[in-house]
Amino acid sequence: MKVKRNTLLLLACLVWSVAGFNILRIGLMAYPSYRSVLNILLSTLVFVVFQRFIFGKLVKKHTTRIHSYGEERHFFLKFFDGKAFAIMAVMMSGGIGLRLSGLAPERFIAVFYTGLGASLLLAGLLFGRNFGTAVLAAATVQNEMERKGE
């Protein structure tokens, strides 16, 4: 079950985009009753904090790690390291537990999940952009080699 190095970026794109979309959907479904300027600003703050300090850095770190691999093919789960999978597991179980327990008010779910989900979705899209960039760069190198007759 090995895939090309650049495909790891596509897998990261798909995983984070699906997770982000689902969390954003939950937040937006809860939002109509709590729509206000303050809540929109709070959701924006959550988005910025997670994007700036967590997910933006995560995208850069894992893209750099994937690009640094010497071999072309890798086990398909190597799009993240153990720490990233642990973070994902904690976030998922914590979020599910929080919602099922009823400890978090619906307003919190609306505001926090909307900001968090949007940030996760953007991280997924950034992995997708990095995948596209890597594929185009590889194609450019291949075309250049063919042009030179190598």
Largest Cα span, the chain:
66
SS (H, E, C) 47-84: HHHHHHHHHHHHHHHHHHHHHHCCCCEEEHHHHCCHHH
pLDDT of 113-149, one tens digit each?
999 999 999 999 999 999 999 999 989 988 888 888 7
| 144 CA to centre of own chain | 32
pLDDT of 76-127, one tens digit each?
999 988 888 898 899 889 999 988 999 999 999 999 999 999 999 999 999 9
For residue 33 the two structure tokens come to: 């009753």
Beta-bridge partner residues of 75: 2
Q: How far apart are CA 58 and CA 77, in angstroms?
A: 16
3-state secondary structure of 3: strand
Q: Is pLDDT of 37 > 80?
A: yes
Residue 150: predicted pLDDT: 63
Q: Is the pTM of this model over 0.85?
A: yes
Strand runs (DSSP E) across the chain, as ranges?
2-4, 73-75
Give which of 77, 55, 56 is closest to 66, Cα–Cα: 77
